[in-house]
Structure 1
Amino acid sequence: MFVLSTCLLALSLLYLFYKLIDQRISQTCYILHYECFKPSDDRKLSTEFSGKMIRRCKNLGIQEYQFLLRAIVSSGIGEETYAPRNFLSGQGTNSRLSDNLSEMDEFFTETLDKLFSRSGVFPQDIDILVVNVSVMASVPSLPSRIINHYKMRDDVKSFNLSGMGCSATLIAINIVQNMFKTHRNKFALVLTSEAISPSWYNGNERSMILTNCLFRCGGASVLLTNKRALRKKAMFKLKCLVRTHMGSSDEAFTCCTQQEDDKGHVGFFLGKTLPKTATRALTENLRTIAPKILPLTALFHFILRANIQKFGAKYLNISVKRKAIMNFKLGVDHFCLHPGGKAVIDGVKQSLGLIEDDMEPSRMTLHRFGNTSASSLWYVLAYMEAKKRLKKGDKVLMIGFGSGFKCNSCLWEVLRDLDDKNVWEDCVDNFPPKSLTNPYLEKYAWINEEPWTPPPELLQAFADEELEYNSTRLDT
């Protein structure tokens, strides 16, 4: 009986150990494929046309025109980004619901058609669907629209995220990650984009009109699974994901908000405390994820340096020119950073102690596609892949920021050598260009003059736009 009891106990322990290992393996999150959205060439938005759009806005004067153009040419955004169709038509920036839905339909049909075709997975195979578009809430929801279009199963579990800002893509991934913990052998779709059509601000508050310059059309669809049998076909494996929310701080909560100005125009307010808040959120997030992705030697080296600096400053009056920085390169091979703007990229570079080669994918994404909100990270990842930088075993750190204020990050492991060019296929060989200087600046250098005297041709252009606007109103 003793021997029998011992054997049964041993078998029970082995079974429990097997179940624990099996459960951990089944919770693994793989990326099978992803597709970024590339609008048609007729939707390209040059700085020249941006100036025309600004002149069409009856609430914007010549001073706002100079301010916005100066912001555009210094933002790092190039001449081949994309705008909604209605912006480029005579209809202008006052979008209708049909414009908003058309923008979303074009994005999800093109990316999903390619994704299903290339992966061999059918719409009816999808078990989980997560869609994030921050500023657009349609009825029925966008997930319902996609389910209806592709005639997905009636038991598909759908989630619709709004108001999450540029950090939403990793929130969507986190939802899938948590669903995979209790649902085995599933396929999940994450669609991430932003509706630019309803986001235009028609007022003249400088803290709110900046967003008109920063965002461009784009989107991405990502296919994920936790099926162990598909591991060899997978591109990436999720190692860990950390979300940091600073919303309990009034300063962080109010630094980036959607609101009305004093004339009732809805737009996005960007406060002066935004850079400070972003730095705090990034610091808190990295403090949490660092022990999960860095070797103990790197953590020990950082702690030792930081304490030596504190001791020297406190007891020896030794001033420190540069504080100790955690060396993330000891655990990370590539940095996939949100291209929210030139200042955002420069700030992250300084905070992480990175070199310009590390920032190249983000800078080139900003230059070629602009800030496409939550989907931007996938354009950055696609650039790395198109440049054949992603090799088996490499680790990729994704970092995104969003209103609220949020900073989210995750670490991906590359499971095989990757070289698909995705949306960069027709242009990646031209990157990085010799210069990122906006050609508009050379042609119209007066936008940086202080004090500024508007040139006669600009005064005439504003007069012509005003005449055309009044004529249109009379016809209406």
Structure 2
Amino acid sequence: MGNQKPQSQNIVIENKQTSVKLKYVKLGYHYLISNFMYFSLIPLILTLAHLSLEDLAQLFHRLDLGLVSGTLVCTALTVCLATLYFSWRPREVYLLDFSCFKPEPALMCSRETFMRQTSLAELFNDETQAFHRKIIERSGYGQRTYVPKAALEDVPSASMGKAREEVEMVVFGAIDELLAKTGVNVKDIGILVVNCSLFNPTPSLSAMVVNRYKLRGNILSYSLGGMGCSAGLISVDLAKRLLQDQPNTYALVVSTESMTLNWYGGKNKSMLITNCLFRLGSSAVLLTNKWTERRRSKYQLMHTLRTHKGADDKSYRCVMQQEDEDGKVGVELSRDLLTVAGEAIKTNITMLGPLVLPASEQILFLANLVGRKIFKMKIKQYVPDFKLAFEHICIHAGGRAVLDEIEKNLSLTKWHVEPSRMTLYRFGNTSSSSLWYELAYTEAKGRVRKGDRVWQIAFGSGFKCNSGVWRALRRINPAKEKNPWIDEIDEFPVDVPDIQPVIGH
């Protein structure tokens, strides 16, 4: 009786080992069957690799292959090779359409309204209010940006319920418009990516979208949080990668930010800046890998490039949510922010250059690099002319100072920076969705022609800098577009007097 227990344990261990072996045998079997076509081509490819044209001619002669038989063999070989090529080639990703949420006029917030509401909150003294006024006057914002409903109440207050209402309003508004423009059935959407940096409730924001639109049960859904203003392009990059493994489907990418629960009520000036900067907005983008949708798609995604500088402590800490000395939570912006952003952008465009720049610019850049690094020549670093690579440039509208620096360092014209400056003026910094308001501005101006190349570049906490490169598949006719700028685009030429003093500084 005493030996029965160890024997039973041995039997259990042996059964487990057998089941594990069977598991791997089954996996190997499924893998072999699933990829049988590719394995069967390996001997043929290896054989053909060692045959010359003369060898092939002799083979046909010895087998006495007639014209018909030889044609059939060549056709079969061509089909096999073509199948192999199209199976291994990355799937092309198209942007079917996108939309940007435009809040109702009742949510507009002028500079005077902003100062009145901050005083009603009774959180700030005269010194902090003066700092608010200084920042808002230098921000490059106009008089018609938008804020959440909670910020315009007689006594501004914040709650989880009001934060949900804010996000539902902007996210559902953007998605509703996008679905109306594209006519895509929600059941055909196989991938969902939602990004919002500071508001991450449970259930997640992606679950909120699934519930509202009754998306299918096997959808690949993701909520990205804490990734800052560059999360929009990170979401596009994630969707692109997922589309490589999910044939014939659509990917919905939603970008937004929530302000209701992220108001800072302390006296730390480096945290007060965020109160003045962020505004209400959201975008929804529909991507697809269906080749049948290419004809009606707006753009093809050519490149996504991500740069992360988080390994450097200064970069990691330059934008950080934390408590101040009084225990009040806010997002602190370091004095090193512009320097860190400049370094991140420099790294990103150095990696992007070889993918998009013409050979002439790459040769000049290489010659300059060799001269400085190898021959130790005291010459200024050569900045490639990215205007030769792109017709349109959308820079994240993070602030007037950032746009000024990028315009200067990349030698851009005011025409190239106009979409970013106008977005900053009209809608403010809408975080990760700002790039799409800028592209919408470019479309509303009637500037996008077939074959045009668009460069989107964004940066955010972490510190990260990300680029997305698109190619227009058709001319965008603004008269046929539902666009947040359409009804007022003529009100915002660059030389309007009430805009120029703010932008020109």
1:204 aligned residue (246, 267, 275): 267
Change (3 A) 1:232 1:259: same
TM-score normalised by length of structure 2: 0.81
| In 2, Cα distance between equivalents of 1:258 and 1:27 | 38
Structure-1 separation of matches of 2:203 and 2:448? 39
Number of aligned residue pairs: give it.
434
Aligned partner (choices 73, 76, 90) of residue 154 of structure 2? 90
Alignment partner of 1:423 is 2:484? yes
Which residue of the partner structure matches residue 52 of structure 1?
A: 116
Q: 2:439 aligns with which of 357, 372, 381?
A: 381
- Name the structure 1 match of 2:16: none
1:216 aligns with: 279
Distance 1:426 1:9, change over 3 A: same
Find the counterpart in structure 2 of residue 360 from structure 1: 418
- Take 1:11 and 1:232, find their aligned partners in 2: how far apart are those partners? 29
SS of 1:51's equivalent in the other structure is: helix
- Please give the alpha-carbon distance, in whole angstroms, between the structure 2 residues aligned to 1:200 and 1:214: 11
Shift of 1:28: 0.9
Within 5 Å, which residues of 2 pair with 1:71-220?
A: 71-92=135-156, 94-220=157-283
| Shift in Å, 1:311 | 8.8
Q: What SS does the corresponding residue of 2:261 show, helix, strand or coil?
A: helix
- Residue 309 of structure 1 and its aligned partner are, at CA, apart by 6.8
Of 460, 468, 483, 1:410 maps to 468
Mapped to 2, the partners of 1:343 and 1:301 lie a distance apart of 29
Contact 1:242–1:285, Cα closer than 8 Å, also in 2: yes
| Whole-angstrom CA distance in 2 between matches of 1:60 and 1:137 | 27
After superposition, the Cα gap between the structure-2 partners of 1:105 and 1:59, relative to the gap in structure 1 and judged at 3 Å, is: closer
Runs (5+) with no aligned partner, structure 2 = 1-57
**Compared CA separation, residues 25 and 215, structure 1 to 2 (3 A):** same
Instruction: Indicate if the aligned counterparts of 2:281 and 2:433 stay in contact, CA closer than 8 A.
Output: yes
Matched, 1:33 2:97: yes
Partner Cα distance (1:212, 1:251) in 2: 23
Q: Say if 2:427 is the partner of 1:369.
A: yes
Cα distance in 1 between the residues matched to 2:73 and 2:336: 61
Cα-Cα RMSD: 2.3
Structure 1 residues 303 and 403, CA gap change in structure 2 (3 angstroms): same
> Tell me, what secondary structure is at the counterpart of 1:423?
coil
Unaligned stretches of 5+ residues in structure 1: 441-476
Q: Distance in 1 between matches of 2:240 and 2:451?
A: 21
8 Å Cα contact 2:99-2:483 kept in structure 1: yes
**Secondary structure in 1 matching 2:339:** helix
Cα distance change of structure 1 residues 215 and 24 upon mapping to structure 2, 3 Å threshold: farther
Question: Which residue in the other structure is 2:127 paired with?
Answer: 63
Whether the 8 Å contact between 1:237 and 1:413 is mirrored in structure 2 is yes
Q: Which of 77, 81, 86 is the aligned partner of 1:22?
A: 86
Provide the C-alpha distance between the structure 2 equivalents of 1:277 and 1:19, rounded to a whole number of angstroms: 47
Q: Helix, strand or coil: the match of 2:382?
A: coil
- Give the letter for the 2:332 counterpart: F
What percentage of residue pairs aligned between the two structures are identical? 38
SS in 1 for 2:199: coil
After superposition, the C-alpha distances for 1:157-209 in whole angstroms (9 at most, x for unaligned) are 10110001100001100111101111111111001000111111111100100
Q: 1:264 to 1:10 in 2, by over 3 A?
A: farther
CA 1:331–1:287: 2 relative to 1, 3 Å: same
Distance 2:124 2:410 in 1: 39
Report the 3-state secondary structure (helix = DSSP H, G, I; strand = E; otherwise coil) of the residue aligned with 2:484: helix
Cα separation, 1, equivalents of 2:334 and 2:493: 32
One-letter identity of the residue aligned with 2:303: C
> 1:335 corresponds to which residue?
393
Cα displacement (A) at 1:68: 1.3
The separation in 1 between residues aligned to 2:452 and 2:183, in whole angstroms, is 26
1:432 counterpart residue number: 493
Q: Which residue of 1 aligns with 2:106?
A: 42
Q: CA deviation at 1:295?
A: 1.7
- 2:41 matched to which residue of 1? none
The match for 2:14 is none
Residue 331 (structure 2) pairs with residue 268 (structure 1): yes
Listed one character per residue, the Cα deviations across residues 367-399 of structure 1 (whole Å, up to 9, x for unaligned) are 000000000000000000000111000000110
Structure 2 counterpart of 1:407, one-letter code: C
In the TM superposition, residue 9 of structure 1 has moved relative to its aligned partner by: 9.1
Q: Aligned in 2, Cα 1:15/1:387: closer, same or farther, shift over 3 Å?
A: same
Higher relative contact order (CA 8 A, sep 6+): 1
Change (3 A) 1:193 1:12: same
Shift of 1:403: 0.2
Deviation at 1:323, TM superposition (A): 3.9
Give secondary structure in 1 for the equivalent of 2:303.
strand
2:384 pairs with one of 326, 347, 351: 326
Contact 1:243 1:285 in 2 (8 A): yes
CA distance in 2, matches of 1:139, 1:249: 32
Structure 2 CA distance for aligned equivalents of residues 425 and 437 of structure 1: 19
Report the residue type matching 1:71 in the other structure: I
Q: What do residues 446-472 of structure 1 show as CA deviations (whole Å, max 9, x unaligned)?
A: xxxxxxxxxxxxxxxxxxxxxxxxxxx
Query: 1:138: how far off?
Result: 1.3
> Matched residues in 1 for 2:363 and 2:102: separation?
45
Contact 2:171 2:256 survives alignment (8 Å): no
- 2:315–2:463 contact (8 Å) kept in structure 1: yes
Q: 1:26·1:184 contact (CA, 8 Å) conserved in 2? A: no
Q: Deviations over 1:53-93 (max 9, x none)?
A: 2223434211221111111111101110000001001241x
In structure 2, do the counterparts of structure 1 residues 52 and 75 end up closer, same or farther at CA, with 3 Å as the change threshold? same
Q: In structure 2, how many angstroms separate the alpha carbons of the residues matched to 1:63 and 1:352? A: 37
**Cα offset, 1:351, TM superposition:** 2.2
Deviations 1:115-171 (A, max 9, x none): 111211021221111100111111111111111111111111101100011000011
Whole-angstrom distance in 1 between the partners of 2:139 and 2:295: 41
Which protein has the larger Cα radius of gyration, Structure 1 or Structure 2?
A: 2
Which amino acid is 1:328 matched to?
A: F
Give the alignment partner of residue 302 of structure 2, picking from 223, 229, 239. 239
Alignment of 1:459-474 (within 5 A): none
Q: 1:239 to 1:169 in 2, by over 3 A?
A: same
Shift of 1:12: 7.4
